[in-house]
Structure 1
Amino acid sequence: MNKLSNSVLYLMSFSAGLVVANLYYNQPLLHQIAVDFGVTESQVSHVALSTQLGYAFGLFFIIPLGDKLSNHKILQFDFVLMVISLLVAATAGSLWLLIVSSFFIGFTSALPQLFVPMAAQLSDDEHRGRAIGIVMSGLLIGILGSRVISGFVGEQFGWRTMYYAASGLMVLLFALLRFKLPRLKPQFKGSYAALLQSMIHYFKTEPELRLASLRGALAFAGLSVFWTTLVFLMEDNFGYGSTVTGLFGLLGMVGAMGATVAGKLNDKLPKQRILLFSTLLLIISWCIFLVSGHAIFGLILGVVLVDLGMQALHITNQSIIFSKNPEGRNRVNTIYMVSFFIGGAVGTTLGALAWQHYQWTGVSILGLVLSVLILLVLLLSKNRE
């Protein structure tokens, strides 16, 4: 088995953060783009939507290839398409062209989900959790930092500059990865169609994968419930706008640091114990949210706890599915992450409905119910793991 050096591991973490940032650069720039093209906020929102749809397609169609093709072949194809898409976005003369290029930016930015199983494959059993945690930390920091950087660059130099800068960064990153990243040779010899079809087999025959996917979907649904409705709470109960709400995202840095700790704990403690602890953190955080509709410090404490619980649960889920499926890590990661984002979409919808009908109390109870469901899944399936 290949030995994963710290320099390569941190390069993968850094790369995951830089690539996933491409997904979120457009969000602070939407107002500028709308003014530039003379369109409404509703029309320009399709840029962000198209990017997310592209990511979902990339997750499903690119990530399984990690079990069939050399990682360097995938990187070469992905980065060429990514740089072209970013340059088309930077020079787009119409909104529809920006929307199309944004789809391909999202499609190619699913790449960090290859780095997580890659880190698991290159690590030995004693350090696999740590490796997953470090890569996930880089990914989380990229998500958090991208909006801050993009907002600053857009305000100072215009929205197109951010896309030009991102394309340049991706060229440099590809050169670095091509030089430093070990080459992996997957074992799957079947066709691409057979590769995709085999994911059904994994889902049917791996109870641990189904359970991890369910836990991940419920947890991300709860997190999406919170972030979907926080801006409404801040405006209605505290009189704060989106800027202050955005600052809550910086508290996610605690989650990013917690990801590394959770990864290390996965190498030392039983998985069930970590899953139980992280689920209890989620339940406690929602109890705090329930009584903090008018208490800003309660919300801050709740955000820290919900993010720590989420990251610990997520990394433990991935550690479980990767340890049991060495030949199909990219495919099981695809199944898990698709379930994860389906949970997020459901949580966003349910959260908006809960706020509309029952305000923050309804939102908090919904989040609490979702977290308790994770606990029930754990208790009912404790003999499976």
Structure 2
Amino acid sequence: MIAPPATVMLVAGEPSGDDRGAGLALALKARLGSSLRLVGVGGPRMAEAGIPSLFDMSEISVFGLLEGLLAIPRVRRRAQDVAEAVVRERADLVVLIDSWGFSWMAARAIRRKAPQARLVKYVAPQVWATRPGRAKSLAGLVDHLMVINSFEPPYFEAWGLPTTFVGNPALHMDFSACDPSAFRARHGIAPTAPVLLVLPGSRPGEVQRLLPPFEDAIRRLKADHPTLQVVLPVAEAVSGAVRAAVAGWPFRVHVIVGEPEKLEAMKAADLALACSGTVTLEVAQAGVPMVVAYRLGAVTHFLARFIIRTPWVVLFNIAARRFVAPELIQGDCTGPRLAAELDRRLRDPVFSRAQAAAQDEALDTMGRGGPDPSEAAARVVSEVLSGDQPRLSTGT
């Protein structure tokens, strides 16, 4: 049993992890109160929850083979910085959230410098889709794993890693305070104008690769749908790059910032063009049909063809085992292809409503409606912290 006050470090490497870290921080404070001290690495959401970041989270937010290789020296240095902070802050437990590459480096560095600290991984590597060997690697590094998909525990328990399904926070979005009419009025959007929600990703590489085909697609759409309004919620980590890029587009874009505005935009939208990722679950919960797109770097895509074991990349498509929402990946992610899929949904309301209903059904299959994931994760962290769960031998 660790005597209070305990110090817990939360480490997130990208915006989705920042969201999960903020939820976990608030749930831990509610559960442990004054017996808890929180430190860590994150973004604006975690800062609002009382955890100022040790360094800028964007330094470790990388995706793709080439981008990852180029970032290795910087990411390795930041992993060492985290390990040194664990020692300096005398952290009793560290939660490494998502971001497999950085989490793996940080976990190894922490094991060397602070072997007494307990390690919990929050969000598992997708070993069911690619690189199953990561399950064994993770089992040798952390004391406990919290997964967000109900089918994941057996992949890791087979290697002796205690694993708990806590649910996906993205399946527990609260739209109750949203007022789509008020959103339209604030942004000068007519009540009957079709609204396209554009979500180009939260990583710099995603934005750089997706904005050009997105612009081309929207330009084509607006030629046939001149009243179409374009709303683009922007993540703070890429806000500068996104604003600079869309400033040159030949049509108006309503760029919005902040979680409340993003949720209202989702409820006000008729259709979405979304980067593959957690945001697709949020859009689906808002009841909005979508077209999903993604582009990897050329080298990463070439290698991915040999290691990815599922035909789908969107989680609710995987749950439904079919293309509920179309996935236009790599060579299919072009302006004409995106525009054609979006145009079909704008012209056929019956088809759009059927897709939204199928998305909703897939979310139920994924476990929507269960216990609050942040509270479930806080319970697991509290149990590991108190010693109610066995810890990994420091000899690993």
Verify same fold: TM over 0.5: no
- Greater strand proportion: 2
Scaled by the length of structure 1, the TM-score of the pair is: 0.31
Q: Which has the higher helix share?
A: 1
Q: TM-score, normalised by structure 2?
A: 0.30
